Chains A and B, each alone.
Chain A
Amino acid sequence: MNKKKPRLRISVFMVCAIAVTVAAAVSLCVAISLSVYNRALMQNSETASEQAVQQTAVAVGNYLGDLKLKLSRISTEISESRTIDEFSDSIAAAARLQRDIESILVYDKNGELLAYGAEDGILKEKNSVNLSFDKTLFEEAEEYAVTPPHVQTLFEGRYPWVVTIAHKQEQKLFNGEVYIAIDFRFSSVAKQIDNVGIGQHGYCYLTDTAGNIIYHPQQQLIFSGLKTEDTSFVPSSADGTQHRDGVLYTVNSLPDSSWRIVGISYIDELITAQTEEMLWGVALSVICCAGVAALISQLFSRIVLRPVRGLVNAMKEFEKNAAGYRYTAPAEKVAELQTLSDSFEHMVGMIQSLMERVRREEITLRKTELKALQAQINPHFLYNTLDSIQWMCEQGENEDAVRMVGALAKLFRISISHGNELITIRDEVKHAQNYLIIQSFRYKNQFTYSFYVDPEIEDCLCNKITIQPLIENAIYHGLDRMVDEGKITVTVKPDGEDILIAVADNGVGMTEEQCRKILQKERSDSTGIGVKNVNDRLKIHFGERYGISIESELDVGTTVTVRIPQLRKEPENEI
């Protein structure tokens, strides 16, 4: 039965349930902790980014402040110098001593070089280009002019990247307004910016307030078009951090300068990596849980399910074969199951003893009933017959009276037959014949009768008083009201494994309803054995497929047929 319908087994269900529950719980925990973690990560990243950018801004700002300080000192020095040569010597010394000062330059208003101090190098004779002098910028600057980084082109064979800081001054030494400028090596600032890595993946760069890139660690890529950097947000952004599309943008203005430091940090990569790792963790724990669940279900199955399954199988066995089943409760590990097994054992015993009792009681009941039924044959028929005999004697019909008494005696002898329920067909037929002898006296030859009995089956057994009630029925209901001479035919013949006993008459016949009623109703006069009683007896004795069937047609006749099994005489047939 199990194989036909695959049903959900508890062990499988357990594994799934545990795995699903744990997976859900873990996922939930991970989702919560991930969001908390991501928020913390974001905050950390923001803080880190802000710190890095601010440090850079402070360093670069200090640097520029330092330069301005130096520029003002040089101004002082100029005013203290008496000759241009003396001044040149002192600025040359300053340039040599300070590694990050490329050169100190004094220009007139038109950019003509008046004096210079440089670490080394030969001044080019013909300056094709001087990128260090920017007249408009110098003139417009309120106090200090700071150029974007550029290449210094003043000395032969040297092209250092510098930032020029210039300051306009009235100087007696040069007889009028001059620009004092320091060309500063930019690489020191560039290194500051180059060395800033923000978080797992990030960098920073330098812009002016309009968002033009002043220095970018990857500027060679940007200017050759291999990389683009979107700086359009810089002019509109206040100092601080913003977060767009998984990228942190931190902007910080340099003090006293138009420069701004922008930090870029790709936190989405970090978060993606962390999330991925967490998901691996979840997958791992789910697998572990499935493993643990499998283990638990294995244990559960061994301790609980196997005995339960044993019990279920035992019940099925019991269902199939209730009477012959034997069950002994095995020793179980779990108390409840032990109780269950013990109860089942007890129940099996109880049911079996009850079944036995019911069977015995039924047999007793049937025997009692049969005895009662057999007892019903006697009184009314006996009185009538005795009346007839008395009447015959009175009329002097002694011969007939003798025959009648003889028939009556045989009738009763066969009825009793030592208390046996089953008698041979030969005896049963004799019984019927004797009955007909008596009845034919009473009905003054209103009918004739004939018997056709197959001698093969004369020794077979049948219930006693089977044919007689059928003949009685034929006489009372079929022939009694007939004007013509009636005819009763009794046929006994084998039919395969069975025997058919047919009692046919040519009487008034019955409607279908009458036929049915005869098989359902007890006789109303409550004397003798009715057709129904015969039928009931046969069914009780031989089973449902045996019994009486009636065929009848109005004004043609009725045939009542009895079907019984062929039983040969055996000594044990005690029922």
Chain B
Amino acid sequence: MKYKRLIIYLLLISLTLTCGCSSQQQRQSIAVIVKATDSDFWQSVRRGVNAAATEYNISVTFEGPENEEDYLKQNELISRAVQNGADAIVFSAIDYYQSANAISAAADAGVQIVVIDSGVNSDKINTFIGTDNYKAGQAAAAAAVECRGRSENMRIGIVNYDRNTDNGRQREAGFRDYISALPEAEVVETVNVDSNTTSATAGAISLLHSHPEINVLVGFNEWMTLGIGNAVQQLGLKDTVTAVGFDNNVISVSMLETGEMDALIVQNPFAMGYLGVQSAADLLSGRSVPDNIETSATTITKQNMFDEDNQKILFKFE
């Protein structure tokens, strides 16, 4: 009788093993959930995602809310991805706090979580891939100083987006820390606006109106950069105001050539997308990945914008 029970156990074990083996055969799917899908930045991320998906033979979805404030939509996308059986989620958080529960719930459902670009307040994350935002903020400050040629009498206006977005906070912190170490420079005011060009332009213009002494303007993402560029252009201040921005929107690049913008901190969204999917693929096949992968951020000025390597970073393939 003892033997019979043993045999039944053995059969059960073999059955489970067979199931385990066969389930490995399916093509894995990864859901990429980002802040928006329309900007140049996220299109580059998408290209990176597709490159990795092609290389690793994985099916991916690429989704994001229509505006970069809609964390509720992001949370909905997360739970839908879990329902649809995604094996991994590559995520970039609009709100550092509001998406934490959704991400933790997804991780508890057995989904691997890779965070790119902007962090989320959850300890269930397998790896973070993105720019070192604090360092990028410092690089922006350094670029501003270099473009002015000196640090004296720097009166700085900051145009930033949602206070709860992690990467914006980190960049501003890096920037402020760098500036506070300089004797003759000060940050006059920070305005926080919605993350779109219209709000950013309006915010920058009103900032320049209320503080005419401002001679350095900084924007911490693609839309903020367009905003300050537009403000400088509309007010005709391109020779007096040093404008430092982020990312490589084609209009910002054009403004860099024509002089409204003075420096761009160009991140590597392609790398975020590519490495995000690659890390997720590695996690799914049981390989270990580092906790943190730093993607590069390059300072581009008018002088070096057409260097052969910088071309590849600054200008996108359509």
Q: Which residues of A contact B (CB under 8 A)?
A: 128-129, 131, 150-151, 153, 156-161, 185-187, 190, 194-197, 199-203, 217-221, 223-226, 269, 273, 277, 280-281, 283-284, 287-288, 290-291, 294-295, 298
A294 and B3 form a contact (CB under 8 A): yes
- Which chain A positions have C-beta within 8 A of B18? 284
- Which chain A positions have C-beta within 8 A of B6? 291, 294
B250 interface residue, CB < 8 Å from A? Answer: yes
- Which chain A positions have C-beta within 8 A of B311? 131, 150-151
B3 and A298 form a contact (CB under 8 A): yes
CA distance A298 to B13 in the complex (A): 20
Beyond A150-B311, A224-B296, A277-B21, whether A157 also contacts B250 by CB under 8 A is yes
Contact of B270 among A186, A202, A220, A273 (CB under 8 A): A220
Can you name 5 A-B residue pairings with CB atoms under 8 Å? Answer: A131-B311, A200-B56, A220-B271, A273-B24, A287-B17
Write the nearest CB–CB distance from B215 to chain A, whole angstroms.
Answer: 25
B298 interface residue, CB < 8 Å from A? Answer: yes
Contact of A291 among B11, B24, B250 (CB under 8 A): B11
B306 and A151 form a contact (CB under 8 A): yes
B10 and A161 form a contact (CB under 8 A): no
Beyond A196-B54, A202-B55, A294-B3, whether A284 also contacts B17 by CB under 8 A is yes
When C-beta atoms are compared, the residue in chain B nearest to A199 turns out to be B57
- Which chain B positions have C-beta within 8 A of A187? 317-318
Contact flags B282-318 to A (C-beta < 8 A → 1, else 0): 0001000000000110100000001011011111111
Write the nearest CB–CB distance from A126 to chain B, whole angstroms.
Answer: 10
- Which chain B positions have C-beta within 8 A of A200? 56-57
How many chain B residues touch A (Cβ–Cβ < 8 Å)? 46
- Which chain A positions have C-beta within 8 A of B21? 277, 280-281, 284
CA distance A151 to B295 in the complex (A): 23
Q: Which residues of B contact A (CB under 8 A)?
A: 3, 6-7, 10-11, 13-14, 17-18, 20-21, 24, 44, 47-48, 50-51, 54-57, 250-251, 253-254, 257, 268, 270-271, 274-275, 285, 295-296, 298, 306, 308-309, 311-318
Going nearest first, the 5 A-B pairs with the smallest beta carbon separation are: A220-B270, A291-B10, A224-B296, A197-B54, A203-B55
When C-beta atoms are compared, the residue in chain A nearest to B11 turns out to be A291
Beyond A287-B10, A294-B6, whether A220 also contacts B17 by CB under 8 A is no
- Which chain B positions have C-beta within 8 A of A291? 6-7, 10-11, 14
A277 and B24 form a contact (CB under 8 A): yes
Chain B residues touching A, majority SS: helix
Contact of A223 among B48, B57, B312 (CB under 8 A): B312
Write the nearest CB–CB distance from A185 to chain B, whole angstroms.
Answer: 7
A129 and B306 form a contact (CB under 8 A): yes
When C-beta atoms are compared, the residue in chain A nearest to B25 turns out to be A277
- Among B18, B51, B308, the most chain A Cβ lie within 10 Å of the Cβ of B51
A287 and B14 form a contact (CB under 8 A): yes
B271 and A224 form a contact (CB under 8 A): yes
Write the nearest CB–CB distance from B212 to chain A, whole angstroms.
Answer: 29
When C-beta atoms are compared, the residue in chain B nearest to A213 turns out to be B312
A283 and B24 form a contact (CB under 8 A): no
- Which chain B positions have C-beta within 8 A of A156? 254
CA distance A298 to B44 in the complex (A): 66
Write the nearest CB–CB distance from A306 to chain B, whole angstroms.
Answer: 13
Contact of A161 among B3, B274, B317 (CB under 8 A): B317
CA distance A221 to B6 in the complex (A): 55
Contact of B313 among A197, A203, A223 (CB under 8 A): A223
CA distance A294 to B8 in the complex (A): 11
- Which chain A positions have C-beta within 8 A of B11? 288, 291
When C-beta atoms are compared, the residue in chain B nearest to A291 turns out to be B10
CA distance A95 to B298 in the complex (A): 35
CA distance A131 to B17 in the complex (A): 60
Write the nearest CB–CB distance from B295 to chain A, whole angstroms.
Answer: 7
- Which chain A positions have C-beta within 8 A of B50? 194
Contact of B312 among A129, A157, A219, A287 (CB under 8 A): A219
